[in-house]
Structure 1
Amino acid sequence: MLYIWRPEFGSALDLINFEFSFYHIDDEYSFSSTEQDISEEESALIHRVDQVFIHSPALMEKKGHLNRNTRYVPNGVDYEAFSSPASEPADLSNIPRPRIGYMGIIKEQLDFEIYIKLAELHPEWSFVFVGPMRNVSAIEGLLERVQKKSNVHFLGGKHKEELPAYAQHFDVGTLCYVVDGYSKFIYPLKINEYLATGRPVVGVPIPSINMYRDVVKIARTAEEWSEAIARCLSVEENSPELIAGRRRRASEYDWRRQVSDIAQTMCEHLGSRYVEELRRVQIAGSAPGHY
């Protein structure tokens, strides 16, 4: 079984012996801020493989019609890790609350113009960024400006196992991207990671975030962001009922469920014997003491 995840690996179809081929689209691989047509390379790959998996609603709309065996499988979350209480990290404990957090790669797609305005409008809020910096040469000036703010804190990259503790000790999780022809197609991993903690979340109006309007505040301008974050900090938005609702929504996207969907689809290509074997393993794995 050949599993491909980038269009430039399509040549593997002619180099490797296999019985079934799969192409998993987990990004808009043009990486262009201006929306691009589907490349001939990727179009050919989508048409040739036996099965396509697509991770975001906008990519599903754009590319899902090219192969009749296409399945939508959105990004997931290690729900147990992010919902289980963790101790406050030492480098976060000295940062005053409320903490308005971002967790992920620090990159040019983040809207630092808005973060700067928010930091100026609300010196009483702490803005915390957890993650490594990558490909930021285009926004060096903005980064210099935001790093000079006394209420902005960059804590650097962390090990995967450490991330739940940071997310749990934010007061609000943010998904503040520049809305353009690239971000339209993303599905941020962190949306369900934030929600699994029960914390309120604010994001921009892109298709993958709009799906969560029932549990995520949507904002575009700095003024809208300011109002949305202020609401998220209210007692009402942190009620046990709303916390449970956010966690419940995230639990729908546990990675075990998402991977199970992919495995089920793969077994359907292989035949009924494999479908039955997968079902047997899943039943055994759901028993106490089995993982």
Structure 2
Amino acid sequence: MADLIVFGEDWGGLPSSTQHLISHLMKKHRVIWVNSIGMRSPRPSLRDFKRLFLKALAMFKGSSKTKRHASEQVSPVIINPKVLPFYGSSLIRRFNKRLLLKDINKAIEQQGFEDIVLWVSLPTAVDMVGSLNEQVSIYYCGDDFDALDGVDHAMIKPLEQTLSEKVDLILVVSKTLARKFNNPNTIIFPHGVDYPLFSTPASRPDDLPTNGPIAGFYGSISAWVDTELLVQSAIALPSWQFVFIGDVKTDVSSLQVLPNVHFLGSKPHDQLPSYVQHWNVAMLPFRHNRQIEACNPLKLREYLASGTPVASTPFPAVREYDNIVAIQSPKESFSRVILRADKQREEKAVRQETVSKESWQHRAVQLEALIDHLSGKKNTHH
């Protein structure tokens, strides 16, 4: 049975696709999880200094040693990497690699890891491929890092290129991402959904408005959310209440002044079903840009699993569901898309049935088969 070493974001934050998948694999496999090693060098900003401080604290407290989370569920061994966040320098990268290998090899020895599968979600971990005596290496590409906000593109692009050439398998979440790589072992592996969580009826939260139908959105309220389109929609539908859940990372002042717009702040992931299930329409109001062209948002399947009608701007990943999602057509106002979606409320069972076979559990079974196949191939070559 393979043991996994995973380079991902910080464990325990908002669950990413990597965390969903690895959480299921942990039922059968032991896991060492290396917390995020960043995607850009820090800038002289308060936010970056705060993040650096917290990272340094994690490194040099007891948590720099591997530890298990004190929860009843199976948890990975967590490593807080001791690295300098300057990946443009080959000298610093060599220094980082030596420090990281020391911590990881210590954990491998303590846990008695043997048949290692290396899972990399971040291109900054490229130097670890081939350094851990792993049987199989996988690059899981969930985003177009060339177009992602908050990423040092000039630094990441060559690292990702090298990574794509070194690994045994690349898993991408969309066709657009698949076109980026020349590695013949590139497989489209779409996101899953926590179907039991989102489809199980949940009670209505107290902070939802009660005066009229609700069009809602949850997730990071960032530059890729089309605020102008939302302002037009909220003005065109004065009897509707527009609800936003998540951290605000872009200018939303034009929305905040409208009486039927409500920002409820961020909520824990397991509370999201109680919100989305009580909206009349769930929105995917994205701008047309390169990042959205390549994305395959987790919330699309979560919305569908909740049974709530969905109104969306057009992008490749949503077109796969064009029979059950109201997708904006050229020159159509988004307010009209919301009203079209609202008319689909009777088709709740169809929406849920469509994604019921796309659960993370189902994806993890597929992933398990892929890992077994790759490990078997590697063993026959030795």
Q: TM-score over 0.5 for the alignment?
A: yes
Within a 5 Å distance, the mapping from 1:171-186 to structure 2 comes to: 171-186=280-295
Query: Within the alignment, does 1:196 sit opposite 2:305 as a pair?
Result: yes
Q: What residue in structure 2 maps to residue 280 of structure 1?
A: none
The normalised TM-score by structure 2 is 0.64
How far apart are residue 13 of structure 1 and its match? 1.5
**8 Å contact kept, 2:312–2:337:** no
Q: Identity of paired residues, percent?
A: 32
Select 1:258's aligned residue among 363, 375, 382: 363
Structure 1 counterpart SS, 2:207 = helix
2:331 and 2:214 mapped to 1: Cα distance?
Answer: 17
Query: Within the alignment, does 1:55 sit opposite 2:160 as a pair?
Result: no
1:100 partner letter: A
Report the structure number with the largest CA radius of gyration: 2
Select 1:87's aligned residue among 181, 203, 217: 203
1:221 and 1:111 mapped to 2: Cα distance?
Answer: 15
Query: Within the alignment, does 1:114 sit opposite 2:266 as a pair?
Result: no
The normalised TM-score by structure 1 is 0.83
Within a 5 Å distance, the mapping from 1:1-291 to structure 2 comes to: 1-32=117-148, 39-63=157-181, 66-92=182-208, 94-134=209-249, 136=250, 140=251, 143-219=252-328, 223-234=332-343, 237-239=344-346, 242-271=347-376
RMSD: 2.1
2:192 and 2:260 mapped to 1: Cα distance?
Answer: 32
Structure 2 counterpart SS, 1:17 = coil
Give the number of the structure with larger relative contact order, counting CA–CA contacts within 8 Å between residues 6 or more apart: 1
1:60 and 1:210 mapped to 2: Cα distance?
Answer: 17
2:258 and 2:173 mapped to 1: Cα distance?
Answer: 36
How far apart are residue 96 of structure 1 and its match? 2.3
2:158 partner letter: E
2:361 and 2:323 mapped to 1: Cα distance?
Answer: 23
2:127 and 2:204 mapped to 1: Cα distance?
Answer: 47
1:110 and 1:214 mapped to 2: Cα distance?
Answer: 23
1:39 partner letter: K
1:221 and 1:152 mapped to 2: Cα distance?
Answer: 25
1:228 and 1:116 mapped to 2: Cα distance?
Answer: 14
Larger displacement relative to structure 2 (20-29 or 40-49): 40-49
Structure 1 counterpart SS, 2:139 = strand
2:364 and 2:350 mapped to 1: Cα distance?
Answer: 23
2:373 and 2:295 mapped to 1: Cα distance?
Answer: 28
Q: What count of residue pairs does the alignment treat as equivalent? A: 258
Relative to structure 1, the CA distance from residue 220 to residue 130 in structure 2 (aligned partners, 3 Å threshold; closer, same or farther) is farther
How far apart are residue 80 of structure 1 and its match? 0.8
Unpaired segments ≥5 residues, structure 2: 1-116
Relative to structure 1, the CA distance from residue 10 to residue 220 in structure 2 (aligned partners, 3 Å threshold; closer, same or farther) is farther
Unpaired segments ≥5 residues, structure 1: 275-291
